[in-house]
Amino acid sequence: MTHRRNTEDGGAEKPLWANLSAGLVTGAADDDPSGIATYSQVGAAFGYGMLWCIAVTMPLMIAIQAVSAGIGRVTGHGLMDGMRKHYPHPLVYALTALLVIANVINLAADIGAMGASLALLIGGPALIYAAGFALLSLVLQVFIPFTRYAPILKLLTLSLFAYVATVLVIDVPWLAVLKSLVLPPITWNASYAVGLVALLGTTISPYLFCWQAAQEVEEMDSSKRRKPLRRAPRQAPSALRRIGIDTTVGMIFSNLISFFIILAAAVVLHANGKVDIQTSAEAAAALRPLAGELAFALFAAGIIGTGLLAVPVLAGATAYAAAGAFGQRSGLEYKPGNARFFYGVLVVASLAGIALNLTPLDPVKALYWSAVVNGVTAVPLMTVMMLMGSRRKVMGKFTMPWPLKIFGWLATAAMAAAALTMFVTWGQ
């Protein structure tokens, strides 16, 4: 008789790819067009000088995302819904308002970058393309149930390999890259500090916490067997093992792609004196004369692919957060008529993202203010998450293990230091 290890879904354990879901999608969505712009900026401005940061952010990102996923899986509630049950409502409303503002600005920047990238590739009206991408994403989210939409998001994560391919088609001095990782060429000045803050703020973003917790809840609700671990503790070993693998793989993938984007900008742009990059589309255009048509096309196509993944995650995270904060039903598995508030926020956020592209709003300033609001939101949100994950009243016997506590609080402290640095270097 063969032994079959019991899993949260019953039966034998699944292969690795089948176990990758919320963590993989969340990690890939972190490399959105706005993130690509930031990584391109620091690569162009500082060359190899910030590649070492990826090794630092990776364990911090794994820890804080595992905390958010664990809260969703243990309690059966999204982050804001859980906070509403255990913390003062004014605090939850304030955090949600900041999150919504940052997400809508980020959405606008990502939508605009996708349109600009397609216009670079084939010509034509960038604004029309941008609106088309946003509306396509919205229609898919509204009319396709989560159980059928989640595999689409998972498949879109493969688009990030465009940045690996970009590096493979350019001439990289790998010896110099390795040297920079061992002995980082750090220049301690205000400009470098601002770059560090931007990189950290791009890598650890509040909308990612909301999305991963919510996707855990969605997958639980759409499963016949999965239950919140507080009610079904026998599922815990399998569920927590899956979350650990899923989150670790997803965040390593995310950070490796970030590494390749910074590297491509450093090798091609910085080395050729192109040190001032403002948007992801500008980075793609700058590659064309310096690295050739193939590198340009791969980079630009990657912006569109990751945008198709990130836009629904951003809009979805906004809707999950708002619905949770106000105690409303939420979930992409529901039909629109059964979760009107949730879908209303989803539609309004997406349309607002399109509308901002029709205004004279400077996309660079929009990204800057999005980073400011994200920095202000992340620290209190991460603090409350860490407190929730440590409380038996919230997590029962599944409070965070000490490694997650250590790295989770380190991530929170790093974001607090980044926010403080941001304000100290204001205007520099």
**Tens-of-pLDDT digits for all 428 residues of the chain?**
344 456 777 666 677 777 788 899 999 999 998 889 889 988 999 999 999 999 999 999 999 999 999 999 999 999 999 999 999 999 999 999 999 998 999 999 899 999 999 999 999 999 999 999 999 999 999 999 888 888 888 889 989 999 999 999 899 999 999 999 988 888 877 788 888 888 888 889 999 999 999 999 999 988 888 899 999 999 999 999 999 999 999 999 999 999 999 999 999 999 888 888 888 888 888 888 888 889 889 999 999 999 999 999 999 999 999 999 999 999 998 999 999 999 999 999 999 999 999 888 776 677 767 777 787 789 999 999 999 999 999 999 999 999 999 999 999 999 998 888 877 776 55
Residues 328 and 77 sit within 8 Å (Cβ to Cβ): no
Reduce the secondary structure of 407-425 to three states and give it as a string.
HHHHHHHHHHHHHHHHHHC
State the DSSP code for 266.
Answer: I
State the DSSP code for 338.
Answer: G
State the DSSP code for 328.
Answer: -
Give pLDDT, residue 1.
Answer: 39
Give pLDDT, residue 428.
Answer: 57
The secondary structure of 359-418 as a DSSP string is: S---HHHHHHHHHHHHHHHHHHHHHHHHHHHH-HHHHTT-PPPHHHHHHHHHHHHHHHHH
The rounded distance, in Å, linking the Cα atoms of 268 and 75 is 47
Residues 72 and 219 sit within 8 Å (Cβ to Cβ): no
Structure tokens at 110: 């990502």
Give pLDDT, residue 376.
Answer: 79
Reduce the secondary structure of 214-252 to three states and give it as a string.
HHHHHHHHCCCCCCCCCCCHHHHHHHHHHHHHHHHHHHH
This prediction has a pTM of 0.91
Give pLDDT, residue 3.
Answer: 44
The rounded distance, in Å, linking the Cα atoms of 113 and 281 is 6
